[in-house]
Amino acid sequence: MALIVQKYGGTSVGSIEKIRAVAERVIETSIQGNQMVIVLSAMAGQTDGLIKLANDITEDPDSRELDVLVSTGEQISVALFAMAVKTMGYDARSLLGFQVAIHTDHLFGKARIHDIETDRIIRNLDQGRIVTVAGFQGLDDHGDITTLGRGGSDTTAVALAAALKADVCEIFTDVNGVYTTDPNICPRAKKMDFISYEEMLEMASLGAKVLEIRSVEFAKKFDVPIHVRSTFTNERGTMVVAETKDMEKVAVSGVAYNKNEARVTIRKVPDQPGIASRIFDPVFRAGIVVDMIVQNTSQDGLTDLTFTVLKTDFYKTMKLVSDIAAEIGAERVLGDEDIAKVSIIGVGMRTHAGVAKTMFATLAKENINIMMISTSEIKISCLIEEKYTELAVRVLHKAFGLDDEKEKAS
Ligand code: ADP
Ligand code: ASP
Ligand code: MG
């Protein structure tokens, strides 16, 4: 008997018919003698709808109340799923984050899980029930509901798999696995059979939303193998596992893009010790994650500082930075939301030369201007105008030999 944690995303539970189909699929695996813990997302579009409701009240909703609101999407899914299982003659029990309990820190909207109690889940499993847990939500130590950030149900699933020492963690979604790039924008994307935790971490952090980044961090830390696969077929998907020697053979294994960031530029900042710290201090204290940062060499004691943040943090960041810019005597603050980051990823970059050169030349050939560049050992990212995103992804995918030849022939 195996203990299996499965997570179904929003599209997979997007209608009553789909919830019934998931219930049938889960029951089938359960009656083969497995214990099943099913993590569900909100039905497709619900979380966005709830955020919109909040934004209809105010542009900057109270973060505690926003979490109370957006966590309700998952509550609906688990209740409907448990009902569906019961109508099929099997026993199920839904549990919300606080009932489990999934303990997190206090950062509303991007809380981190620090501990999961497993007793209640195990008790229910031992009574022969299918247990369904609401994804994306937890409980802080003031007893308040928190949420884990967009896509956070993946993290709930992997963290539960680690806490329960599950035999396998399966992430069911609307594509067949992890591809060399987003199959919805590049028809020649290829499904990978395996990907290393390191590459998946980079792909996720650079925008491949098929797995949420913290879920991969958890999986790597606690050695949880993840199987990413389709809800709608029985095909084998992609295993996310520890790196093997073979994986270094190719220089670039994937291309990712992210349209969720915005750029902030502070013009003519006095170039003095401590200035960067003063600018970023209020931003960090507000829990805002800063991504790419570039500071130019100074001219006449003045410099420009540019960085990117999530679009959802853009409004708040502009306000914080404008206040500080006035205090330190910078000339002005500019913002740009029409940007995208395209990235190439591969553990093979450690041993292959010329990868950056190919990337820059490929973008240049299409006349795509690079605004910022950042690199790490296994990735290179370029900030470009948002309207060129799809084109950039496709030409890079081809330039690094990732195109699916079968697709080309058809
Ligand atoms: P779910 O609702 O199941 O959590 P998501 O929408 O969060 O699903 O993630 C699945 C989507 O991720 C796919 O539909 C696809 O468009 C996108 N995606 C982006 N990059 C990749 C990639 N490299 N491989 C597979 N899917 C990707
Ligand atoms: N419902 C949440 C979201 O849309 C969490 C998830 O689906 O993983 O971001
Ligand atoms: Mg998701």
Pocket test for ligand 2, best of 66, 96, 153, 211 (most atoms within 8 A of CB): 153
Q: Would the pLDDT of 287 be above 90? A: no
- Do 151 and 288 have their domain in common? no
- The CATH number assigned to the domain holding 52 equals 3.40.1160.10
Using a 10 angstrom Cβ sphere, with 0-12 exposed, 13-18 middle and 19 or more buried, the burial of residue 124 is buried
Last residue of a domain, one of 151, 174, 197: 174
- The CATH number assigned to the domain holding 290 equals 3.30.2130.10
Tell me, in angstroms, the distance from the centre of ligand 2 to residue 31's CA.
29
Last residue of a domain, one of 174, 194, 215: 174
Q: Would the pLDDT of 333 be above 50? A: yes
- Do 150 and 252 have their domain in common? no
Residue 153: nearest ligand to its CA?
2
Which tens digit of pLDDT belongs to each residue from 66-110?
999 999 999 999 999 999 999 999 999 999 999 999 999 999 999
Which tens digit of pLDDT belongs to each residue from 340-367?
999 999 988 888 888 999 999 999 999 9
**Confidence band, pLDDT 50/70/90 cuts, at residue 304:** very high
Whether 191 is in the pocket of ligand 2, judged by its Cβ within 6 Å, is: no
Q: Minimal CA–CA distance to 39: which of 144, 218, 233, 172?
A: 172
The answer to whether position 55 is within a domain reads yes
The answer to whether position 58 is within a domain reads yes
Last residue of a domain, one of 174, 207, 224: 174
- Do 19 and 142 have their domain in common? yes
Q: What percent of the chain has pLDDT over 70?
A: 99
- Do 255 and 347 have their domain in common? yes
- Do 126 and 254 have their domain in common? no
The answer to whether position 189 is within a domain reads no
The answer to whether position 101 is within a domain reads yes
In the chain, the number of structural domains is 2
Which tens digit of pLDDT belongs to each residue from 127-165?
999 999 999 999 999 999 999 999 999 999 999 999 999
Domain span at 30: 3-174
- Do 168 and 264 have their domain in common? no
- Do 258 and 399 have their domain in common? yes
| pLDDT at residue 243 in the model | 82
- Residue 351 corresponds to which tokens in the numbers above? 């041993």
Pocket test for ligand 2, best of 39, 41, 72, 310 (most atoms within 8 A of CB): 41
Q: Would the pLDDT of 410 be above 80? A: no
- Do 166 and 249 have their domain in common? no
Tell me, in angstroms, the distance from the centre of ligand 3 to residue 364's CA.
33
| pLDDT at residue 81 in the model | 98
- Do 159 and 295 have their domain in common? no
Distance (Å, whole) CA 173 – CA 7: 8
What are the residues facing 37 on neighbouring strands?
5, 131
- Residue for token digits 């189909």? 21
Which tens digit of pLDDT belongs to each residue from 188-247?
999 999 999 999 999 999 999 999 999 999 999 999 999 999 999 999 999 999 987 777
| pLDDT at residue 122 in the model | 98
- Do 27 and 119 have their domain in common? yes
The Cα diameter of the chain in Å comes to: 77
The answer to whether position 361 is within a domain reads yes
- Do 20 and 124 have their domain in common? yes
Whether 9 is in the pocket of ligand 1, judged by its Cβ within 6 Å, is: yes
The answer to whether position 220 is within a domain reads no
- Do 170 and 280 have their domain in common? no
The answer to whether position 33 is within a domain reads yes
